[in-house]
Amino acid sequence: MRVGVLCSGRGSNLQSLLDAAKANALGGAEIAVVVCNIAGAGAIDRAKTAGVAVEVVEHKGLDRAAFERALVERLRAHRVELVCLAGFMRIVGRGFLDAFPDRVLNIHPSLLPSFPGLHAQRQAIEAGSRFSGCTIHFVDAGTDSGPILSQAVVPVLPGDDEDALAARILVAEHRIYPEAVKLVASGKVHIEGRRVRVDGAARPDDAPRFHPPLS
Ligand code: GRF
């Protein structure tokens, strides 16, 4: 399964996917192209270092429809079958999603449906949550609202600020995104309305994974 990764920034999740691909840990998936909407983003260097094709599609000067058409055109040129949003800071709409039906994944740094949108870690701290985490979900036309494929849980510790919690969540992100891509590439993943079913799994995902509290 040819994967296109869309990034806007530093690309640490991209790196986890590149590392997994190199270690043959993505099952039948390979990273075919990295598409970035910000020239000079760290993700670009990461892709180049890994020897993966890079496309820069800047949103500046394009309306949403034209930007999405340009993205789709680049992804199709690389025969992409699965799209992974990894710190991609633009909302993708129907025009894009219809080109890759049920084949766009996103990672979000909270336990959705709690705390969608920006500053998810800050939202969790301000709400007084004892646990937060990250979610891999299929993308629909809403914001961080599509069917949930997998999640990992981390504690929110007393004294955490946004950066401390984000760093703890990021460790979990880097673990679950490659696992999720491998699962989708296995062909065992089916979307049934709001829910995701995985063939052979007793639950919609393997089991909730609790990150051990850090001392
Ligand atoms: C991650 O926290 C991801 O969950 C969110 O944006 C951040 C991207 O980080 N969507 P990186 O660019 O992958 O390092």
The pLDDT of residue 31 is 98
Among 5, 6, 12, the mutation site with the greatest number of ligand 1 atoms within 8 A of its Cβ is: 12
Query: Where along the chain do the CATH 3.40.50.170 domains lie?
Result: 1-101, 106-215
Tokens read off for 95: 């025009």
Strand bridging mode 209-210 / 148-155: parallel
* Helices 12-22 and 42-49: angle between axes, nearest 10 degrees: 10
Angle at Cα 55 formed by Cα 169 and Cα 14, nearest 5°?
Answer: 20
Establish whether 108 is a catalytic residue.
yes
Which residue blocks in the chain are alpha helix, DSSP H?
A: 12-22, 42-49, 64-77, 94-97, 120-126, 162-185
133 Cβ below 6 A of ligand 1: no
Buried-exposed string 107-126: b where 16+ CB fall within 10 A, e elsewhere? bbbbbbebbbeeebbebbbe
The pLDDT of residue 204 is 46
Beta-carbon contacts of residue 35 (< 8 Å; ≥ 6 apart): 4, 5, 6, 7, 54, 55, 56, 57, 71, 74, 75
Q: Tell me, in angstroms, the distance from the centre of ligand 1 to residue 14's CA.
A: 9
The pLDDT of residue 215 is 46
pTM of the model: 0.93
Q: Tell me, in angstroms, the distance from the centre of ligand 1 to residue 185's CA.
A: 22
Topology classification of domain 106-215: Rossmann fold (3.40.50)
pLDDT tens for each residue of the chain, 215 residues long: 999 999 999 999 999 999 999 999 999 999 999 999 999 999 999 999 999 999 999 999 999 999 999 999 999 999 999 999 999 999 899 999 999 999 999 999 999 999 999 999 999 999 999 999 999 999 999 999 999 999 999 999 999 999 999 999 999 999 999 999 999 999 999 999 999 999 987 654 454 455 554 44
- State how far the Cα of 95 lies from the Cα of 132, in Å rounded to an integer: 32
Q: Whose CA is nearest to atom 5 of ligand 1?
A: 87
User: Given the CA of residue 173, which atom of ligand 1 is nearest to it?
Assistant: 4
Active-site residue (options: 59, 78, 108, 119)? 108
Structure letter (DSSP) for residue 142: S
The pLDDT of residue 115 is 98
If you count DSSP H runs as helices and E runs as strands, how many of each does the chain have, helices first?
6, 10
- Which CATH number does the domain 1-101 belong to among 3.60.15.10, 1.10.357.10, 3.40.109.10, 3.40.50.170? 3.40.50.170
12 Cβ below 6 A of ligand 1: yes
Beta-carbon contacts of residue 169 (< 8 Å; ≥ 6 apart): 109, 110, 121, 132, 133, 134, 154
Positive or negative: CA dihedral 143, 145, 146, 148: positive
Site of tokens 């993205």:
71
Phi, psi angles (nearest 5°) of residue 33: -160, 150
144 Cβ below 6 A of ligand 1: no
162 Cβ below 6 A of ligand 1: no
